[in-house]
């Protein structure tokens, strides 16, 4: 039996409970990725959380008991704040524990001290969840884009601010009104001025810039301007000029040094970042080799943030486990734990379809087509017949409900054989891309 990696989780709020749930739900897959099981061996929390099941796990009300527990290999700090969290992490490091944290303020403001202590003790500190929640932007910068010189980074890295700007633009709502809703929905920081005055974004930009450029964490040097002075009038005027206002964190290498700034920014409608709405986050990175790239996803929330926390636990688990020449398996999974699931044939794919046909304009044509579809159990969601002049072929456009590809093909073959159906039938698969 392989020895599990033992994890102590401190803080059982939104992200803590999400982390417990993801580790439990995906435990087999995660063990295959790490090469050993991950076991939550100790939880430090002032109170339980009904959103997760911690039956059978040791729980301490004194969170420092987790930092002192000799069983714990990795301490996961999810309490937030920069005072108790700092003491906890420094104590855990002095006890030889590796650290995973989602705490952006702590890393941005005390990261240099924490890394120095960790280096002296020979332990790792991982903090993917501290920037843009579920988007793996730190690993992307530090690994996937490591070949590049990063020219600039521009990111929507505060969901609350983006939600406010989106509501002002789309619904003409006033700033204060939308902020109250963001607080009620649980997006905003405990102190919402962190969101609207750009402090939260500045914490995240500090971390991004250090990883992109290798500079020490320098939160106090970030130029920070909030969105609280913006009015719906500004938002509408920007639109009339062909721009959209976004609250961006920007890091740029000018050749003379690095610009670090957070402020409202007008960006052309045509850039993808302009279409990032609501609480979503997105980060553009321009690398000298790769060119512009865009990373998009949920910047907060229980499981999106847990996705990054658990990725760090997996990374540290691998480092603790693996031979040094195989720290990250080539395909992400260990060679002896590959997934045996088959790759499915296209015939078995099930999805809605868009169909376009050209037919002769005479009675009964549509009835023939819909009969064939219904004989093959294909249901139509929407249909449109276009007006044409004279005897020209009539275009018929249809959206189906979900259908197995092989069944659709069989029906289309029969429809194509009708004398009244002219030209080739066009069909396009539809993916709604909702989570």
Q: Which is nearer to ligand HSE, 15 or 412 (CB)?
A: 15
Strand order in the sheet with 380-385: 380-385, 394-400, 353-359, 421-429
Cα–chain-centroid distance for residue 416?
Answer: 43
* The one catalytic residue among 6, 97, 139, 204: 204
Q: Which lies closer to ligand HSE via its Cβ, residue 300 or residue 412?
A: 300
Least distance CB 137 / ligand HSE (angstroms): 12
Q: Which is nearer to ligand HSE, 127 or 353 (CB)?
A: 127
Tokens 């295959």 map to which residue? Answer: 32
Question: Minimum distance from CB of 98 to ligand HSE (Å)?
Answer: 23
CA gap 9, 72 in Å, rounded: 10
Shortest reach from residue 58's CB to ligand HSE, in Å = 29
Give the sign of the dihedral formed by CA 38, CA 80, CA 161, CA 140: negative
Q: Is 140 helix (H, G, I), strand (E, B) or coil?
A: helix
Q: Select from 41, 30, 50, 8 the least CA-distant residue to 302.
A: 50
Q: Of the two residues 226 and 299, which places its CB atom closer to ligand HSE in the complex?
A: 299
Rounded to a whole number of angstroms, the minimum distance from the CB of residue 297 to ligand HSE is: 12
- The residue assigned the tokens 């970030």 is 222
Q: Exactly one of 158, 210, 224, 308 binds ligand HSE (CB under 6 A); which one?
A: 158
**Subset of 172-191 contacting ligand HSE (CB under 6 A):** 187-189
Out of 44, 111, 133, 136, which residue is the one contacting ligand HSE (CB under 6 A)?
133
* Chain CA centroid to CA 12, Å: 21
Task: Select the span of 30-38, 61-69, 153-161, 324-332 touching ligand HSE (CB under 6 A).
Answer: 153-161
Taking CB under 6 A as the rule, does residue 128 contact ligand HSE? no
Q: What angle do CA 353, 355, 358 make, to 5 degrees?
A: 175
| Whole-angstrom distance, CA of residue 168 vs CA of residue 177 | 10
Q: For residue 204, indicate whether it is catalytic.
A: yes
Contacting ligand HSE within 226-255 (CB under 6 A): none
Structure tokens at 147: 């070949």
Binding mask 189-208 for ligand HSE (x = CB under 6 A): x-----x----x--------
* Least spacing, CB of residue 229 vs ligand HSE, in Å: 19
CB nearer to ligand HSE: pick between 276 and 357? 276
State the nearest-atom distance from the C-beta of 102 to ligand HSE, in Å.
Answer: 8
What are the b/e assignments for 94-110, b being 16+ CB within 10 Å? Answer: eeebbbbbbbbbbbbbb
* 367 burial via Cβ count (<10 Å: 0-12, 13-18, 19+): exposed
Contact between 415 and 357 under an 8 Å Cβ cutoff? The reply is: yes
Q: From CA 102, how far away is CA 22, in angstroms rounded?
A: 15
Choice between 191 and 347, CB closer to ligand HSE:
191
Using rule CB under 6 A, residue 127 touches ligand HSE = no
Q: How many residues bind ligand HSE (CB under 6 A)?
A: 11
Minimum gap (Å) between residue 107 Cβ and ligand HSE: 12
Q: What are the contacts of 24-32 at 24+ separation with CB within 8 A?
A: 24/52, 24/53, 26/310, 30/310, 30/314, 31/337, 32/333, 32/334, 32/337, 32/339
Nearer to ligand HSE, 135 or 408 (CB): 135
* Structural tokens at position 188: 């905003």
Rule CB under 6 A: is residue 300 a binding residue for ligand HSE? yes
> Is residue 160 involved in binding ligand HSE (CB under 6 A)?
yes
**299 counts as binding ligand HSE under rule CB under 6 A:** yes
Would you say 69 or 189 has its CB closer to ligand HSE?
189
Only one of the segments 30-38, 56-64, 155-163, 415-423 lies at the binding site for ligand HSE (rule: CB under 6 A); that segment is 155-163
How far apart are CB 295 and ligand HSE at their closest, in Å?
A: 15
Closest Cα partner for 292 from 135, 129, 148? 148
Task: For residue 219, state whether it binds ligand HSE (rule: CB under 6 A).
Answer: no
Q: Which residues bind ligand HSE (CB under 6 A)?
A: 133, 158-160, 187-189, 195, 200, 299-300
Active site residues: 204
């Amino acid at each position: 039996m392989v020895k599990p990696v033992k994890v102590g989780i401190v803080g059982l709020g939104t992200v803590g409970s999400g982390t417990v749930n993801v580790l439990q739900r995906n435990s087999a897959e995660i063990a295959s990725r790490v090469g050993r099981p991950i076991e939550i061996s100790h939880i430090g929390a002032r109170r339980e959380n009904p959103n997760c099941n911690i039956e059978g796990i040791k729980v301490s009300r004194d969170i420092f008991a987790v930092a002192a527990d000799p069983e714990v290999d990795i301490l996961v700090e999810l309490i937030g704040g920069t005072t108790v969290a700092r003491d906890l992490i420094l104590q855990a490091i002095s006890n030889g524990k590796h650290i995973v944290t989602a705490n952006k303020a702590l890393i941005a403001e005390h990261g240099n001290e924490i890394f120095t202590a960790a280096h002296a003790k020979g332990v790792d500190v991982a903090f993917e969840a501290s920037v843009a929640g579920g988007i793996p932007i730190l690993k992307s910068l530090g690994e996937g884009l490591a070949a590049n010189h990063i020219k600039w980074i521009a990111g929507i890295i505060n969901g609350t601010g983006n939600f406010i700007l989106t509501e002002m633009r789309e619904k003409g709502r006033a700033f204060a009104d939308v902020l109250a809703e963001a607080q009620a929905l649980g997006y905003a920081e405990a102190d919402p001025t962190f969101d609207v005055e750009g402090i939260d974004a500045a914490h995240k930009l500090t971390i991004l810039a250090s990883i992109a450029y290798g500079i020490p964490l320098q939160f106090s040097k970030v130029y920070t301007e909030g969105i609280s002075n913006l009015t719906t009038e500004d938002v509408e005027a920007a639109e009339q000029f062909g721009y959209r206002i976004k609250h961006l964190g920007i890091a740029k290498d000018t050749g003379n040094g690095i610009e670090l700034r957070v402020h409202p920014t007008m960006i052309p409608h045509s850039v993808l970042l302009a279409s990032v709405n609501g609480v979503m986050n997105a980060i553009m990175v321009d690398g000298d080799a790769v060119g512009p790239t865009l990373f998009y996803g949920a910047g907060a929330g229980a499981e999106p943030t847990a996705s990054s926390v658990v990725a760090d636990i997996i990374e540290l688990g691998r480092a603790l486990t693996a031979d040094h020449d195989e720290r990250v398996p080539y395909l992400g999974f260990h060679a002896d734990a590959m997934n045996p699931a088959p790759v499915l044939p296209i015939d078995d794919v099930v999805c809605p379809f868009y169909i376009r046909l050209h037919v002769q304009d005479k009675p009964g044509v549509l009835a023939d087509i819909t009969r064939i579809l219904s004989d093959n159990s294909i249901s139509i969601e929407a249909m449109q017949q276009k007006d044409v002049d004279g005897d020209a072929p009539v275009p018929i456009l249809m959206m189906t409900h979900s259908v197995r590809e092989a069944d659709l093909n069989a029906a289309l073959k029969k429809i194509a054989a009708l004398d009244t159906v002219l030209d080739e039938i066009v069909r396009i698969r539809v993916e709604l891309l909702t989570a």
